Amino acid sequence: MSAVPSPYVGVIGAGEASDELAAAAEAVGAGLARAGAVVVCGGLGGVMAAACRGAAEAGGTTVGLLPGPDRADANPWVTVAVATGMGELRNGLVVRASDALIALGGGPGTLSEIGFALKLGRPVVGLKTWELARGGVADASIVAAATPAEAVARALGLAGAEAGRGSGA
């Protein structure tokens, strides 16, 4: 690989998305691609498709790790599709493959990915996503971002810091 390998940033969110959330995901995908990052996702619709569309239209590489056995299920903006046949267990693969993750909105599948990421030490940046607490005390594990641009900047910074610790890839 090149001397400075591209960061891999996962974009996670539900398979159906409001127009507002889809627009944010598309902006996130475009921002990541312009920065040279590879976009990793679950390969399906909603947030995943919007992020891939933004990245692909900016000339980026998008990796879709699909739950089913058929590559044809990938959204049209996935440039490399991996059909895992593992069902929702593929959520863990999305996290493993990423140096940092950006969560946009999100249902329960996104929550599973956030949990995995925190467990594996992958930084998570959140935009309108789950809020966590324990014993009534807010948990700050998810780095909050207010805009797509801020989410991209923070995720890239955290992915690089992670890589800088030598364990990031």
- Binding residues for a second copy, rule: CB under 8 A, are 1, 5, 8, 38, 61, 63, 65, 69-74, 76, 78, 80-89, 91-93, 96-97, 106-120, 128-136, 139, 141, 167-169
CA proximity to 126, closest of 97, 156, 147: 147
Contact call for residues 166 and 142 (beta carbons, < 8 A): no
At 126, is the secondary structure helix, strand, or coil?
Answer: strand
Minimum CB–partner distance for residue 84 and a second copy (Å): 6
Minimum CB–partner distance for residue 80 and a second copy (Å): 5
CA proximity to 100, closest of 5, 10, 12: 10
CA proximity to 24, closest of 79, 103, 95, 107: 103
Which residue lies nearer to a second copy by CB, 5 or 36?
5
Minimum CB–partner distance for residue 74 and a second copy (Å): 7
Apex CA 47: angle with CA 167 and CA 84, to 5°? Answer: 60
d(CA 14, CA 9): 17
Which residue lies nearer to a second copy by CB, 149 or 169?
169
Minimum CB–partner distance for residue 105 and a second copy (Å): 8
